[in-house]
Amino acid sequence: MKKIEVFFEKLLWSSRFLVLIAVVSSLLGSLVLFLVGTLDILEVTKKAFYYYLGRNGHDIHEFIITDIIIAIDIYLVAVVLLIFGVGSYRLFISPIDELVDSNLAHPFNIQTFDELKDKIVRVVILAVIIEFFRAVVDIRFSTPLDAIYLALSVLALAVSVYLMNINNDKKREIYNGK
C-alpha cells in the first residue's frame, strides 16, 4: 500500500509540469501579439509618413488615434500573457534564479498565486480602460443623455482605479510589515 501511495504522490507532484503547456503557449501568444502590435504601429507610422509627404490621399487624423490605441491594447494583452507565463512557471515549476537573486519589485517577481492574479487583473483593467477610450473616440453624441452616460462611465473607471490603488497600498503595507 505504501508503494502505491508513493507512486501516486510522485505522479501528482510531476503533474505540475502540465503547467509548461500553458507557459509555453502564453509566451508564444505574447510574442505573436508583440509582433502584431509592432507591425500595426509601423503601419501607422508609414501611413503618417506618406500622408505628410503628400503621397497618401487619406486623412490620417480619421484613424491614427484609434489604430495606436488598438496597438497599445494588443501590447497590454501580450504583457498579460507574459506575466501569466513567467508567473506560472515561477509558482508551479521552479523559481527563476535571476529573480530570486535580484530581490527586485519586478512584475515577474511573483511569490503567490494571489499576486499573479492581482498583476494580471491590473493589466486587464488597464486594457479595458484603453478599449473604453478607443470606443469613446468614435462616439457620436445624439442626445445630452449620451454625454451624461459617458461622464458616468469615466467616473466609474476613475473610482475603480482609485479603489484598486487603495487595495494595492494596503497589500504593500502588509508585505513591508508596516
The more confidently predicted of residues 9 and 104 is: 9
Provide the pLDDT for residue 121: 80
pLDDT tens string 74-112: 999 999 999 899 888 888 888 877 766 666 666 667 777
The answer on pLDDT for 178 being more than 60 is no
In this prediction the pTM is 0.73
Q: pLDDT digits over 123-173, tens only? A: 888 788 777 777 777 777 788 887 788 778 878 878 877 887 787 666 666
Task: Reduce the DSSP state of residue 30 to 3 states and report it.
Answer: helix
The type of residue at 162 is Y
Which helix (H) or strand (E) segment is 100 a member of? helix 97-102
pLDDT at 170 (0 to 100): 67
Count the helix, strand and coil residues of the chain and give each as a percent rounded to the nearest 5.
85, 0, 15
What pLDDT is attached to residue 71? 93
pLDDT number for residue 169 = 64
